[in-house]
Amino acid sequence: MKIHKKYFDDEIRWLFNIDELLSNDDYIYCEIRKGMYGLKQASILAYTKLKQRLSNHGYPPITEYNGLWTHTTRKSIFVLCVDDFGIIFLNDEDKHHLIETLEK
């Protein structure tokens, strides 16, 4: 999945140094590893489950941006859109922390 820089407002781009993660074509590329296709309730089920799981591990939801979570001490970003998601991280340790949280 690719997300164009225009979908990140200036505050989010500044806060998480989004411009450093951009490829030459102004997109951030994300790997999608899992989905729940064909289930009408998939998006609300995924959102509810993720909100609880992420909050319990230091990723509170950002109330101003529905479907966006950031870690309390790391610069990791997690975004959920319908039944797809994206992860932005600045180092492998942060990546592994979020992946381990999601796998629990």
Strand-pair partners of 61: 69
> How many structural domains are present in the chain?
1
Q: How far apart are CA 20 and CA 5, in angstroms?
A: 11
For the segment 57-67, the average pLDDT, to the nearest whole number, is 87
Q: Per-residue confidence at 83, pLDDT binned at 50, 70, 90?
A: low
The predicted-structure confidence for 16-42, as pLDDT tens digits, reads as follows 888 888 999 999 887 767 665 666 667
Domain that holds residue 19: 2-103
HSE-CB for 102 with a 13 A CA cutoff: 17
Residue 100 reports pLDDT greater than 80? yes
